Amino acid sequence: MGAAKHDVFQAIADPTRREMLRLLAVKNLPISEITAHFPISRTAVVKHLHILSEAQLVQGTKVGREKIYQLHPDPLVEVKDWLSFYEQFWSNKLALLKYQMEKD
Amino acid sequence: MGAAKHDVFQAIADPTRREMLRLLAVKNLPISEITAHFPISRTAVVKHLHILSEAQLVQGTKVGREKIYQLHPDPLVEVKDWLSFYEQFWSNKLALLKYQMEKD
DNA sequence: TTAATATAACACCAAAAGGTTATATATGAA
DNA sequence: TTCATATATAACCTTTTGGTGTTATATTAA
């Protein structure tokens, strides 16, 4: 199991973790360099990386004595798909109007 | 539970709250009817609704002795905008490949 | 071989999240 | 007025979250 203890929605709920994803989008980084970007301890950074890892959003690979983290954005498609349902409510004002009138 | 500001990312992190949004997308509903859809107490439902309310995702209006909740999906645009940055990584395999080769 | 570095592995803590019951208040109906 | 219904709120419980610090282990450089 361990599969879906942390889903992608929960993983991106934290602003620190979102910032980590942004960093890794630019460049693969070891834990120490990631830590340098935040005002929290390395231990705390590792915990955030674990949560992102469980959600399959990042992947860490040991290279020498460093562990290099890499962005793995595929699970974000789930969020995109979820969001797409609600796009009708802001992308089509006419449909929205019709819908609002009919629903009560 | 969340006196401080609840942003939209945190609000949609919980599956129960996402299901509530889905219900309200179909029809405006009073608290009692929303509660009927979940295996949790009405009090717990109200707490979730408060969090959604703080994130401006729903709005409650008192009508008689009922409080009718309505979907207010605009804040989801923030999530959509955030996501759009990552779309390059899955919508253009060629760019992704190029990017992966250059970044380390 | 030894010293320095990077991470792993703990134990510990405070606060927040998600839930419960119990009680109170407001409204509509009889 | 009285009663049933809908919501509000307070108090409390348990688990998770997000953070800390310390210590141990593995790897690299000198």
The whole-angstrom distance between A58's CA and the closest CA on chain B is 13
pLDDT higher than 80, residue A7: yes
Closest residue in B to A69 (Cα–Cα): B104
pLDDT higher than 80, residue B104: no
| One domain for residues B43 and B2 | yes
The overall average pLDDT reported for chain B is 88
| One domain for residues B11 and B26 | yes
When pLDDT is cut at 50, 70 and 90, the band that residue B16 belongs to is very high
Q: CA–CA separation, B41 vs B22, rounded Å?
A: 19
Q: CA–CA separation, A10 vs B12, rounded Å?
A: 8
Query: What pLDDT score was predicted for residue B3?
Result: 33
Q: CA–CA separation, B25 vs B61, rounded Å?
A: 16
The average pLDDT across A15-33 equals 94
pLDDT higher than 50, residue A93: yes
- We report the CATH number of the domain holding residue B27 as 1.10.10.10
| One domain for residues A1 and A30 | yes
Q: Which two tokens stand for residue A99?
A: 């819908």
Model pLDDT for residues B46-95, shown as the tens digit of each residue: 999 999 999 999 999 999 999 999 999 999 999 999 999 999 887 666 66
Mutation for B interface: A6, A8, A12, A72, most B CBs within 10 A: A12
Closest residue in A to B72 (Cα–Cα): A89
- The verdict on a CB contact (< 8 Å) between B73 and A89 is yes
Bases of chain D below 7 A from a protein C-beta are: 5-11, 17-22, 26-28
Interchain CB contact of A13 with B (< 8 Å): yes
Query: What pLDDT score was predicted for residue B1?
Result: 39
Total number of domains in chain A: 2
Model pLDDT for residues A36-89, shown as the tens digit of each residue: 999 999 999 999 999 999 999 999 998 888 999 999 999 999 999 999 999 988
| Domain assignment of residue B63, given as a range | 1-73
Residue recorded with tokens 């630019």 = A26
| One domain for residues A85 and A58 | no
Kindly compute the dihedral angle of the four CA atoms of residues B93, B96, B102, B104, in this order, to the nearest 10 degrees.
-130
- The verdict on a CB contact (< 8 Å) between B71 and A89 is yes
Where residue A60 falls (left for φ over 0; alpha for ψ -120 to 50; beta otherwise) is beta
| One domain for residues B57 and B83 | no
The average pLDDT across B1-23 equals 83
| One domain for residues A20 and A44 | yes
- The verdict on a CB contact (< 8 Å) between A10 and B13 is yes
Angle between helical axes of A76-91 and A93-103 (0-180°, round to 10): 80
Q: Which two tokens stand for residue B27?
A: 């029809």
Query: What pLDDT score was predicted for residue B2?
Result: 35
| One domain for residues A60 and A82 | no
| One domain for residues B31 and B42 | yes
| One domain for residues A9 and A30 | yes
| One domain for residues A92 and A63 | no
